[in-house]
Amino acid sequence: MKILLTNDDGIYAPGLLALYECLTSYHEVHVVAPESEMSAVGHCITLSRPLRIQKVSRKGAFFGYAVTGTPADCVKIAVQELFNGTPPDIILSGINLGANVGVNILYSGTVSAATEGAFLGVRSAAISLDATKDPDFRFAAQFSRKVIRFMFSSGLKVNTALNVNIPGIPPEKIKGVCVTRQATARVEERFERRSDPRGNVYYWLAGGKESVEKSKPEVDSVALSENKISITPLYYDLTCEEEYERLKNQPLPSFEELRLDL
C-alpha cells in the first residue's frame, strides 16, 4: 500500500519519524512535510510565493521532501505533482505533539492536512498524542497500523477524514477505543501583555484550557479525559443543516430592496 505521511510539526519532528519507522516495513511510505513547524496554521494554503521542495535525509538515508509551505500545501503538491498522477492509497498526518480535539481542530494544521487529503479523494487520518512533555510515540505509531486497516474494513467514505487522538499514557492504562463527535466547548484563552526593550507593547497568546463537556459523553475531549482513544469522522462541508432548513423558508429581501438601501 502506498502511504503519504505529513504533519504540521515539521519534517524533523520525532512524531513523524516514529510513524515512518513503524510503517516502512509494511508499506511503501513517502514523506512530504513542511520544512519548519506549521502548528495552528489551519487549512492555510500558499498563494503569494512559490513553493520550494528539498530532499531531506535522516540517519544517512533519503527520508522525504521538505516543502516551504503549509500542511495543506504538502498534501496538494504531493498528490497532484510528486506522485506522477498515481495518488497514495492513504494519507496519515502526524503524529502530532498534543491533542487535537474540540474547536482546536479548526486551527490544527495536522487535521487540515487530513481533510485536504479527503477533499482530494484519498482516505486520510490525523493522528495526535495527548502529551506535551517527554512524549513516547511508539504506541501511537503502532496504533496507526490499526487505523489504516479500520479505514478500509469500516467502509469509510473516501471524502471523510478520521481525527484520532491517543492518550499520552502507558498503553496498559488506556481503557479502550471509541468513535466520538467533535466537542464544541469554547476554549478559555488569554493574552499576556508585554513590552519590548524599546517600550513597544506586544501581546503573546498564552494558550488556554478547553472545557470538558461532561454532559456530552460521546465527544472527543471526554473520551481523552477518560483515557480512551478517540476516533472522530470529519467532513469538510461546514453547512449548518439545521439553520439551512430554517433559513431557506424565511422571507428574504428582494434585490430591488437591497439596491435602494445602498
Q: What's the whole-number mean pLDDT along residues 159-178? A: 95
Q: Which CATH number fits the domain 2-183+213-261, given the four candidates 1.10.10.10, 3.50.50.60, 3.40.50.720, 3.40.1210.10?
A: 3.40.1210.10
Task: Collect all residues with Cβ–Cβ distance below 8 Å to 215 and sequence separation of at least 6.
Answer: none
- Torsion angle of the four alpha carbons 67, 68, 71, 72, in this order, in degrees rounded to the nearest 10: -100
Q: What's the whole-number mean pLDDT along residues 209-229? A: 80
Q: What's the whole-number mean pLDDT along residues 188-208? A: 84
Q: What's the whole-number mean pLDDT along residues 152-161? A: 90
Average pLDDT, the chain: 90
CA pair distance 140, 138, nearest whole angstrom: 6
> How confident is residue 63, by pLDDT bands cut at 50, 70 and 90?
very high
pLDDT of residue 75: 97
pLDDT of residue 122: 95
Q: What is the pTM of this model?
A: 0.89
Check pLDDT > 80 for residue 85: no
For 68, other C-beta atoms within 10 Å of its C-beta total 15
pLDDT of residue 262: 55
Q: What's the whole-number mean pLDDT along residues 177-189? A: 85
CA pair distance 63, 11, nearest whole angstrom: 9
CA pair distance 211, 223, nearest whole angstrom: 13
Residue 4: closest CA among 70, 71, 98, 101: 71
Amino acid sitting at position 22: C
Distance separating the N- and C-terminal Cα atoms of the chain: 58
Q: Cα–Cα distances in Å, from 40 out to 22, 62, 105, 163, 197?
A: 26, 28, 9, 15, 28
Looking at 67-76, 137-146, 233-242, 253-262, which range is the least confident one? 253-262
pLDDT of residue 19: 97
Q: What's the whole-number mean pLDDT along residues 72-81? A: 95
User: Got the DSSP string for 40-64?
Assistant: T-TT----SS---EEEEEETTEEEE
